[in-house]
Structure 1
Amino acid sequence: MSHKVVTHWKGNLQFDSDNPSGKTLLMDTSPENGGYNSGLAPKALMLSSLAGCSGLDVVSILKKMKVPFSDFRIDTYGELTDEHPKYYHTVSVEYHFYGDHLDEDRIKKAVDLSIEKYCGVMEMFRKFSEVKTSIHYHNI
Protein backbone atom coordinates (compact mmCIF):
# COMPACT_ATOMS: atom_id res chain seq x y z
CA MET A 1 0.00 0.00 0.00
CA SER A 2 1.24 3.50 -0.74
CA HIS A 3 -0.04 6.94 0.19
CA LYS A 4 0.12 10.14 -1.80
CA VAL A 5 0.07 13.50 -0.06
CA VAL A 6 0.09 16.74 -2.05
CA THR A 7 1.61 19.77 -0.35
CA HIS A 8 0.98 23.09 -2.08
CA TRP A 9 2.78 26.37 -1.39
CA LYS A 10 0.29 29.11 -0.43
CA GLY A 11 2.74 32.04 -0.28
CA ASN A 12 5.41 33.18 2.14
CA LEU A 13 6.17 30.04 4.23
CA GLN A 14 2.63 28.62 4.28
CA PHE A 15 1.76 25.23 2.79
CA ASP A 16 -1.54 23.38 2.46
CA SER A 17 -1.16 19.62 2.68
CA ASP A 18 -3.82 17.05 1.89
CA ASN A 19 -4.29 13.53 3.18
CA PRO A 20 -5.59 10.34 1.55
CA SER A 21 -8.79 10.96 3.59
CA GLY A 22 -9.33 14.16 1.58
CA LYS A 23 -8.82 16.46 4.59
CA THR A 24 -6.28 19.28 4.48
CA LEU A 25 -4.17 21.16 6.99
CA LEU A 26 -2.16 24.35 6.90
CA MET A 27 1.51 24.35 7.84
CA ASP A 28 3.54 27.45 8.70
CA THR A 29 6.40 28.50 10.91
CA SER A 30 6.90 31.07 13.65
CA PRO A 31 7.42 34.79 12.97
CA GLU A 32 11.06 34.53 14.17
CA ASN A 33 11.60 32.06 11.32
CA GLY A 34 9.80 34.23 8.76
CA GLY A 35 6.29 32.76 9.01
CA TYR A 36 2.96 33.94 10.36
CA ASN A 37 2.32 31.14 12.90
CA SER A 38 -0.92 30.55 10.98
CA GLY A 39 -0.61 26.80 10.70
CA LEU A 40 0.80 23.70 12.30
CA ALA A 41 4.57 23.28 12.60
CA PRO A 42 5.87 20.33 10.54
CA LYS A 43 8.06 18.80 13.25
CA ALA A 44 5.34 19.10 15.91
CA LEU A 45 2.97 17.42 13.45
CA MET A 46 5.21 14.38 13.66
CA LEU A 47 4.51 14.23 17.40
CA SER A 48 0.78 14.53 16.66
CA SER A 49 1.08 11.67 14.17
CA LEU A 50 2.81 9.54 16.77
CA ALA A 51 0.15 10.23 19.40
CA GLY A 52 -2.69 9.81 16.91
CA CYS A 53 -1.38 6.50 15.60
CA SER A 54 -0.93 5.02 19.05
CA GLY A 55 -4.16 6.55 20.35
CA LEU A 56 -6.19 4.98 17.54
CA ASP A 57 -4.66 1.61 18.40
CA VAL A 58 -5.29 1.93 22.13
CA VAL A 59 -8.91 3.04 21.82
CA SER A 60 -9.66 0.30 19.27
CA ILE A 61 -8.09 -2.36 21.50
CA LEU A 62 -9.86 -1.13 24.63
CA LYS A 63 -13.20 -1.11 22.80
CA LYS A 64 -12.65 -4.72 21.71
CA MET A 65 -11.69 -5.62 25.29
CA LYS A 66 -14.78 -3.73 26.56
CA VAL A 67 -12.65 -1.72 28.98
CA PRO A 68 -14.45 1.45 30.11
CA PHE A 69 -12.77 4.83 30.59
CA SER A 70 -14.23 8.33 30.59
CA ASP A 71 -11.34 10.25 29.03
CA PHE A 72 -7.96 9.62 27.44
CA ARG A 73 -5.17 12.02 26.55
CA ILE A 74 -1.66 11.57 25.18
CA ASP A 75 1.02 14.15 25.97
CA THR A 76 3.99 13.87 23.63
CA TYR A 77 7.29 15.71 24.13
CA GLY A 78 10.15 15.87 21.65
CA GLU A 79 13.72 17.02 22.28
CA LEU A 80 15.42 18.40 19.17
CA THR A 81 19.10 18.08 18.38
CA ASP A 82 21.14 21.29 18.58
CA GLU A 83 22.66 20.98 15.11
CA HIS A 84 21.04 20.98 11.68
CA PRO A 85 19.30 19.01 10.43
CA LYS A 86 17.37 19.23 13.70
CA TYR A 87 15.35 16.15 14.57
CA TYR A 88 13.81 14.62 17.68
CA HIS A 89 16.57 12.61 19.38
CA THR A 90 14.38 11.83 22.40
CA VAL A 91 10.60 11.53 22.55
CA SER A 92 8.40 10.94 25.59
CA VAL A 93 4.85 9.67 25.18
CA GLU A 94 2.61 9.91 28.25
CA TYR A 95 -0.72 8.08 28.18
CA HIS A 96 -3.30 9.58 30.59
CA PHE A 97 -6.48 7.64 31.35
CA TYR A 98 -9.40 8.98 33.36
CA GLY A 99 -12.30 7.04 34.79
CA ASP A 100 -13.94 5.30 37.71
CA HIS A 101 -12.19 2.07 38.77
CA LEU A 102 -9.84 1.93 35.77
CA ASP A 103 -8.73 -1.58 34.79
CA GLU A 104 -5.00 -0.81 34.91
CA ASP A 105 -3.85 -4.26 33.79
CA ARG A 106 -5.95 -4.30 30.63
CA ILE A 107 -5.19 -0.66 29.85
CA LYS A 108 -1.46 -1.44 30.15
CA LYS A 109 -1.92 -4.43 27.84
CA ALA A 110 -3.64 -2.23 25.21
CA VAL A 111 -0.91 0.43 25.40
CA ASP A 112 1.84 -2.21 25.21
CA LEU A 113 0.24 -3.78 22.13
CA SER A 114 0.23 -0.40 20.42
CA ILE A 115 3.82 0.40 21.43
CA GLU A 116 5.30 -3.01 20.62
CA LYS A 117 3.19 -4.35 17.77
CA TYR A 118 0.72 -2.08 15.99
CA CYS A 119 1.84 1.56 15.85
CA GLY A 120 3.87 2.03 12.68
CA VAL A 121 4.64 5.66 13.48
CA MET A 122 6.15 4.54 16.80
CA GLU A 123 8.33 2.09 14.89
CA MET A 124 9.45 4.86 12.51
CA PHE A 125 10.36 7.12 15.46
CA ARG A 126 12.49 4.33 16.95
CA LYS A 127 14.70 4.52 13.84
CA PHE A 128 15.97 7.98 14.79
CA SER A 129 15.12 8.67 18.42
CA GLU A 130 14.92 7.18 21.87
CA VAL A 131 11.22 6.73 22.66
CA LYS A 132 10.13 6.68 26.31
CA THR A 133 6.56 5.82 27.31
CA SER A 134 4.59 6.01 30.53
CA ILE A 135 1.00 5.39 31.60
CA HIS A 136 -0.84 7.58 34.14
CA TYR A 137 -4.13 6.50 35.72
CA HIS A 138 -6.50 9.16 37.04
CA ASN A 139 -9.31 7.49 38.96
CA ILE A 140 -12.16 9.92 39.48
Structure 2
Amino acid sequence: MAQATVTLVDGMQFVAETPSGHAFTIDAIPDVGGRNTGPRPMELLAAGVAGCTAMDVISILRKMQQRVTGLKVHVNGEQAAEHPKRFTSIHIQYTIIGYGVAEDKVARAIELSQTKYCSATASLRPGAPITFSYTILEASPDTMAK
Protein backbone atom coordinates (compact mmCIF):
# COMPACT_ATOMS: atom_id res chain seq x y z
CA MET A 1 0.00 0.00 0.00
CA ALA A 2 1.32 3.45 -0.90
CA GLN A 3 1.00 6.06 1.82
CA ALA A 4 1.91 9.68 2.37
CA THR A 5 1.10 12.33 4.95
CA VAL A 6 1.12 16.08 4.35
CA THR A 7 1.19 18.65 7.14
CA LEU A 8 0.46 22.35 6.71
CA VAL A 9 3.45 24.59 7.38
CA ASP A 10 2.18 28.01 6.29
CA GLY A 11 0.01 29.48 3.54
CA MET A 12 -0.15 26.74 0.90
CA GLN A 13 3.14 25.15 1.93
CA PHE A 14 3.03 21.56 3.19
CA VAL A 15 5.64 19.04 4.21
CA ALA A 16 5.01 15.60 2.75
CA GLU A 17 6.32 12.53 4.56
CA THR A 18 6.50 8.96 3.30
CA PRO A 19 6.84 5.67 5.19
CA SER A 20 10.28 5.22 3.59
CA GLY A 21 11.49 8.11 5.75
CA HIS A 22 11.60 10.90 3.19
CA ALA A 23 10.20 14.38 3.63
CA PHE A 24 9.84 17.17 1.09
CA THR A 25 8.02 20.44 0.59
CA ILE A 26 4.94 20.88 -1.58
CA ASP A 27 3.80 24.42 -2.35
CA ALA A 28 1.74 26.56 -4.70
CA ILE A 29 2.43 29.68 -6.72
CA PRO A 30 2.10 33.09 -5.02
CA ASP A 31 -1.08 33.87 -7.01
CA VAL A 32 -2.95 31.29 -4.93
CA GLY A 33 -1.25 31.90 -1.58
CA GLY A 34 1.91 29.86 -2.01
CA ARG A 35 5.55 30.89 -1.86
CA ASN A 36 6.87 28.60 -4.61
CA THR A 37 9.11 26.67 -2.20
CA GLY A 38 8.38 23.26 -3.66
CA PRO A 39 6.73 21.41 -6.51
CA ARG A 40 2.98 21.43 -7.10
CA PRO A 41 0.98 18.22 -6.60
CA MET A 42 0.44 17.65 -10.34
CA GLU A 43 4.17 18.08 -10.94
CA LEU A 44 4.74 15.36 -8.36
CA LEU A 45 2.23 13.14 -10.12
CA ALA A 46 4.11 13.63 -13.42
CA ALA A 47 7.42 12.96 -11.64
CA GLY A 48 5.94 9.80 -10.16
CA VAL A 49 5.00 8.59 -13.64
CA ALA A 50 8.50 9.42 -14.93
CA GLY A 51 10.23 7.73 -12.01
CA CYS A 52 8.05 4.63 -12.12
CA THR A 53 8.53 3.93 -15.80
CA ALA A 54 12.22 4.94 -15.73
CA MET A 55 12.94 2.40 -12.99
CA ASP A 56 11.11 -0.28 -14.97
CA VAL A 57 12.87 0.49 -18.24
CA ILE A 58 16.39 0.67 -16.81
CA SER A 59 15.86 -2.55 -14.86
CA ILE A 60 14.54 -4.39 -17.93
CA LEU A 61 17.30 -3.08 -20.21
CA ARG A 62 19.95 -4.17 -17.71
CA LYS A 63 18.40 -7.64 -17.57
CA MET A 64 18.54 -7.66 -21.38
CA GLN A 65 22.28 -6.90 -21.01
CA GLN A 66 22.05 -3.59 -22.83
CA ARG A 67 24.95 -1.21 -22.16
CA VAL A 68 22.89 1.78 -21.04
CA THR A 69 24.87 4.66 -19.58
CA GLY A 70 22.06 7.18 -19.27
CA LEU A 71 18.29 7.44 -19.23
CA LYS A 72 16.12 10.54 -19.18
CA VAL A 73 12.33 10.41 -19.08
CA HIS A 74 10.27 13.53 -19.76
CA VAL A 75 6.54 13.48 -18.99
CA ASN A 76 4.15 16.03 -20.45
CA GLY A 77 0.68 15.88 -18.95
CA GLU A 78 -2.02 17.94 -20.62
CA GLN A 79 -4.57 19.18 -18.10
CA ALA A 80 -8.25 20.03 -18.40
CA ALA A 81 -9.03 23.75 -18.43
CA GLU A 82 -11.70 23.44 -15.74
CA HIS A 83 -11.50 22.00 -12.25
CA PRO A 84 -10.52 19.39 -11.22
CA LYS A 85 -7.91 20.04 -14.00
CA ARG A 86 -7.06 16.36 -14.24
CA PHE A 87 -4.64 14.98 -16.78
CA THR A 88 -6.48 14.53 -20.08
CA SER A 89 -3.51 13.03 -21.90
CA ILE A 90 0.06 12.12 -21.06
CA HIS A 91 3.07 11.79 -23.35
CA ILE A 92 6.26 10.13 -22.15
CA GLN A 93 9.53 10.78 -24.00
CA TYR A 94 12.43 8.44 -23.23
CA THR A 95 16.03 9.28 -24.11
CA ILE A 96 18.33 6.29 -23.78
CA ILE A 97 22.11 6.67 -23.99
CA GLY A 98 24.44 3.72 -24.32
CA TYR A 99 26.77 1.60 -26.37
CA GLY A 100 25.07 -0.33 -29.16
CA VAL A 101 21.68 -0.30 -27.46
CA ALA A 102 19.26 -2.33 -29.60
CA GLU A 103 16.10 -0.52 -30.67
CA ASP A 104 13.96 -3.67 -30.38
CA LYS A 105 15.11 -4.11 -26.77
CA VAL A 106 14.23 -0.51 -25.93
CA ALA A 107 10.79 -0.87 -27.53
CA ARG A 108 10.17 -4.08 -25.59
CA ALA A 109 11.34 -2.59 -22.28
CA ILE A 110 9.01 0.39 -22.71
CA GLU A 111 6.13 -1.86 -23.76
CA LEU A 112 6.60 -4.04 -20.67
CA SER A 113 6.70 -0.98 -18.43
CA GLN A 114 3.54 0.43 -19.97
CA THR A 115 1.53 -2.79 -20.13
CA LYS A 116 2.73 -4.82 -17.17
CA TYR A 117 4.86 -3.10 -14.54
CA CYS A 118 4.31 0.66 -14.08
CA SER A 119 1.60 1.10 -11.48
CA ALA A 120 1.65 4.90 -11.90
CA THR A 121 0.70 4.80 -15.58
CA ALA A 122 -1.75 1.96 -14.96
CA SER A 123 -3.47 4.14 -12.35
CA LEU A 124 -3.80 7.12 -14.70
CA ARG A 125 -4.47 5.34 -18.00
CA PRO A 126 -8.23 4.81 -17.51
CA GLY A 127 -8.78 8.58 -17.48
CA ALA A 128 -5.94 9.83 -19.66
CA PRO A 129 -4.56 8.29 -22.84
CA ILE A 130 -0.81 7.69 -22.53
CA THR A 131 1.50 7.84 -25.53
CA PHE A 132 5.25 7.50 -25.69
CA SER A 133 8.24 7.99 -27.93
CA TYR A 134 11.92 7.28 -27.55
CA THR A 135 15.32 8.33 -28.83
CA ILE A 136 18.46 6.23 -28.57
CA LEU A 137 21.78 8.07 -28.49
CA GLU A 138 25.14 6.37 -28.87
CA ALA A 139 27.31 7.05 -25.83
CA SER A 140 30.18 9.49 -26.26
CA PRO A 141 31.99 11.95 -23.99
CA ASP A 142 29.35 14.56 -24.96
CA THR A 143 26.31 12.40 -24.18
CA MET A 144 27.76 11.02 -20.94
CA ALA A 145 27.49 14.38 -19.16
CA LYS A 146 23.85 14.98 -20.12
Coarse TM-score class (shorter-chain normalised): over 0.9
Following the alignment from structure 1 to structure 2, what is the Cα–Cα distance between the partners of residues 34 and 6? 21
Q: Which residue of 1 aligns with 2:43?
A: 44
Q: What is the TM-score with the length of structure 1 in the denominator?
A: 0.94
CA contact (8 A) 2:62 2:68 kept: no
Identity of aligned residues (%): 29
Q: Which residue of 1 aligns with 2:62?
A: 63
Specify the code of the residue in structure 1 equivalent to 2:31: E
Following the alignment from structure 1 to structure 2, what is the Cα–Cα distance between the partners of residues 61 and 40? 29
How far does the alpha carbon of each residue in 1:15-55 deviate from its partner, in whole angstroms, 9 at most, with x for none?
11111211011100111222111011101110000011111
Deviation at residue 85 of structure 1 after TM alignment: 1.1
Runs of 4+ in 1 over 6 A off after TM superposition: none
Deviation at residue 3 of structure 1 after TM alignment: 3.0
Q: 5+ residue gaps in structure 2? A: 140-146
Alignment of 1:11-90 (within 5 A): 11-90=10-89
Q: 5+ residue gaps in structure 1? A: none
Deviation at residue 100 of structure 1 after TM alignment: 2.8
Q: What is the TM-score with the length of structure 2 in the denominator?
A: 0.90
Q: Which residue of 1 aligns with 2:144?
A: none
Deviation at residue 139 of structure 1 after TM alignment: 2.1
Q: Which residue of 1 aligns with 2:91?
A: 92
The RMSD of aligned alpha carbons is 1.1
1:121 aligns with 2:120: yes
Deviation at residue 128 of structure 1 after TM alignment: 1.4
